[in-house]
Amino acid sequence: KSLSDTPPPRRPFSRVTEEDLTFFRTLLPGRTITDPDLLESSNVDWLKSVRGSSEVLLRPQTTEEVSQILRYCNSHNLAVNPQGGNTGLVGGSVPVYDEIVLSTALMNNILHFNDVSGILTCQSGCILENLSLYLEERGHIMPLDLGAKGSCQIGGNVATNAGGLRLLRYGSLHGTVLGLEVVLADGRVLDCLSTLRKDNTGYDLKQLFIGSEGTLGVITAVSILCPQKPKSVNVVFLGCETFEQLLKTFQLSKRMLGEILSAYEFLDSECLNLLKTHLKLQNPVSDCPFYIVIETQGSDPNHDEEKLHNFLEEAMASSLVVDGTVATEEGKIKALWSMRERITEALTHDGFTYKYDISLPVERIYQLVTDMRRHLGDRAKSVVGYGHVGDGNLHLNITSPAKNAALLAAIEPFVYEWTAKFQGSISAEHGLGLKKRNYIHYSLGVRWRVFPPCR
Ligand code: FAD
Ligand code: 2HG
Ligand code: ZN
């Protein structure tokens, strides 16, 4: 039996009593939810693959309320599961058993924006897309973007250290998050909500919470450095014959597009089939084994277009790509991005999905897909590969008509052993959650080396 299917045992936490509910109802009148129908969506993850049985959902609005909740739960031995937009893909956002769900959905105020420095400070429950819209009106953008933007929250993004589509350009949240406010399990508030770009006074405590997936405290506010809104955006969708050519095109794009390159993503032909079959999206170019989505963001449309034109001419002339289409207008840009962003959604219609979010040396990333296809033969319905080439991050997804223990046993630990063999990471950007927690040893990056003393 795969370890993925084995949840940790329920620890000896207390069960919620009437007395506890009275405390919560007094603290959060109208925001202490116990109606099972209203709790349903908080107990099930986005993929509908894991389900908890929580009987209480708390919806605080302020840091003080979060602090009172955690202090109370800590002293009464009650387990708590922080929840943002519940778009996590590793089963970490919902309870395993009857943990209280602490939702940050009502903590959605923007606290401050400085349009000189581009630094935004907001509560952790702000939805990523709402922040983007707010910033765009002020000539800025969020430094991260992901397909779940309409539901995921900035607190959840920080808690998972989400990567997304533009990490290549704007870097990880470890660089763009400037400050955090976090409530620890005993209710103490750790105030690191700095808005300074430089601060070397002591240890950088906030870094510990970026990617901590709710295990160290509840993030209640975030300050983040936001880039200027680009004056010109172009998106290109290209078709390509081999993965080697796709990688060469990546090198060429870095060389010829330089500072305006903001995303370099890929999908294989199986992904495109799923988009066609399940979402009725049409291939904008001719059929190829691989497709590339390139985005440029810059400050001068003429300059960007000239660079892009030269790059495309070179890519075509050297036969690295066989077909392509360019979008400069918003509607077409969105349509091209859908071909990449909606693969996760298409997969949910294909059957039960086994998801792997792997970091590898970039030249290896597609080899895992071909090896897995060979390894599984006809046991899987679809084996697809897509992801963030620019970050060396593969999303390997495998579907079957229904949950299938034999198929899972064929995939795991094969996929983890393969990844470990090439010093990859089994959790590139989605986190460990419930689904990957038992596999952490395959890629835990820290190793000690001790040399014997000199004689
Ligand atoms: P949730 O799913 O609610 O929670 C995720 C984890 O964070 C849980 O462990 C939870 O306990 C913890 N948590 C949430 N809020 C807090 C808080 N305030 N304080 C402490 N802990 C907290 N991920 C990527 O990295 N890149 C992508 O490109 C990407 N694309 C996606 C596309 C789709 C269609 C979907 C469905 C998901 C995608 N994801 C992606 C995964 C997911 O959206 C991200 O992990 C996102 O950052 C989760 O945010 P959330 O608010 O939904 O958090
Ligand atoms: C993406 O890059 C997300 O689209 C989701 O990280 C990946 O569904 C997946 O496997
Ligand atoms: Zn991703």
Cβ atoms < 10 Å from Cβ of 36: 11
Q: Is 123 in the pocket of ligand 1 (CB under 6 A)?
A: no
What's the CATH number where 180 sits?
3.30.465.10
DSSP-assigned letters across all residues of 387-419: EEGGGTEEEEEEEESS--HHHHHHHTTHHHHHH
Residues 258 and 319 in one domain: yes
Query: What confidence tier does 446 reach under pLDDT thresholds 50, 70, 90?
Result: low
Q: Is 79 in the pocket of ligand 1 (CB under 6 A)?
A: no
Residues 181 and 236 in one domain: no
Q: For residue 304, give its domain range.
A: 232-343
Q: Hey, what are 141's tokens? A: 């953008």
Q: Is 147 in the pocket of ligand 2 (CB under 6 A)?
A: yes
Task: Determine, yes or no, domain membership for 167.
Answer: yes
Q: Distance from the CA of 340 to the center of ligand 3, in angstroms?
A: 10
Residues 336 and 362 in one domain: no
17: pLDDT strictly greater than 80: yes
**Residue 178 backbone zone (phi > 0: left; psi -120 to 50: alpha; other: beta):** alpha
Task: Determine, yes or no, domain membership for 454.
Answer: no
CB 131 within 8 A of CB 154: yes
Residues 274 and 254 in one domain: yes
Beta bridge partners of 236: 294, 326
Helix (H) or strand (E) holding 21: helix 18-27
Residues 127 and 212 in one domain: yes
CA–CA separation, 271 and 342 (whole Å): 10
Task: Determine, yes or no, domain membership for 364.
Answer: yes
User: Of the bound ligands, which one is closest to the alpha carbon of residue 147?
Assistant: 1
Residues 281 and 260 in one domain: yes
**SS3 call for 151:** coil
The phi and psi torsions of 179 (rounded to 5 degrees) equal -160, 155
Cβ atoms < 10 Å from Cβ of 151: 16
- ipTM greater than 0.95, yes or no? yes
Task: Determine, yes or no, domain membership for 383.
Answer: yes
Task: Determine, yes or no, domain membership for 410.
Answer: yes
Instruction: Return the axis-axis angle of helices 63-75 and 18-27, rounded to nearest 10°.
Output: 160
91: pLDDT strictly greater than 90: yes
**Residue 13 backbone zone (phi > 0: left; psi -120 to 50: alpha; other: beta):** beta
Per the prediction, the chain carries an average pLDDT of: 96
Residue appearing with tokens 């794009």 = 253
Q: Is 355 in the pocket of ligand 2 (CB under 6 A)?
A: yes
Task: Determine, yes or no, domain membership for 154.
Answer: yes
Residues 64 and 94 in one domain: yes
Give the atom of ligand 1 at the shortest distance from the alpha carbon of 431. 45
Q: Is 353 in the pocket of ligand 2 (CB under 6 A)?
A: no
The model's pLDDT over 28-65, given as tens digits with 9 standing for 90+, comes to: 999 999 999 999 999 999 999 999 999 999 999 999 99
Domain termination site, one of 103, 122, 144: 103
Q: Hey, what are 235's tokens? A: 């998106």
Domain termination site, one of 44, 75, 103: 103
2: pLDDT strictly greater than 60: no
**SS3 call for 44:** strand
What's the order of all strands across the beta sheet hosting 32-33? 32-33, 57-58, 100-103, 80-83
Q: Which residue is closest in CA terms to ligand 1's atom 22?
A: 214
Give the atom of ligand 1 at the shortest distance from the alpha carbon of 151. 52
What's the CATH number where 377 sits?
3.30.70.2740
The model's pLDDT over 93-111, given as tens digits with 9 standing for 90+, comes to: 999 999 999 999 999 999 9
The model's pLDDT over 266-297, given as tens digits with 9 standing for 90+, comes to: 999 999 999 999 999 999 999 999 999 999 99
Residues 337 and 247 in one domain: yes
CA–CA separation, 444 and 419 (whole Å): 12
The phi and psi torsions of 302 (rounded to 5 degrees) equal -65, -45
CB 356 within 8 A of CB 376: no
What are the residue ranges of helices labelled H in 280-364? 301-317, 330-341, 343-348
Q: Which residue is closest in CA terms to ligand 1's atom 44?
A: 88
Give the atom of ligand 2 at the shortest distance from the alpha carbon of 344. 8
Dihedral of the CA atoms 248, 253, 258, 262 (nearest 10)?
Answer: -120
Q: Which residue is closest in CA terms to ligand 2's atom 4?
A: 341
Name residues whose C-beta falls within 8 Å of residue 177's C-beta, 6 or more positions apart in sequence.
Answer: 158, 206, 210, 222, 223, 224, 225
Residues 237 and 332 in one domain: yes
Q: Hey, what are 100's tokens? A: 């209280």
Q: 102-127: b or e for each residue (b if 16 or more CB lie within 10 Å)?
A: bbbbbbbeeeebeeeebbbbbbbbbb
CA–CA separation, 334 and 352 (whole Å): 28
The model's pLDDT over 314-369, given as tens digits with 9 standing for 90+, comes to: 999 999 999 999 999 999 999 999 999 999 999 999 999 999 999 999 999 999 99
Q: How many domains does the chain have?
A: 4
Q: Chain-centre distance of CA 424, in angstroms?
A: 18
**Percent of the chain that is helix, strand, coil (3-state, to 5):** 35, 25, 40
Domain termination site, one of 59, 83, 103: 103
Mutate which of 58, 65, 87, 349 for ligand 1 pocket (most atoms within 8 A of beta carbon): 87
Q: Is the peptide bond before 143 cis (omega within 30 degrees of 0)?
A: no
CA–CA separation, 242 and 288 (whole Å): 9
Residues 57 and 88 in one domain: yes
Q: Is 253 in the pocket of ligand 2 (CB under 6 A)?
A: no
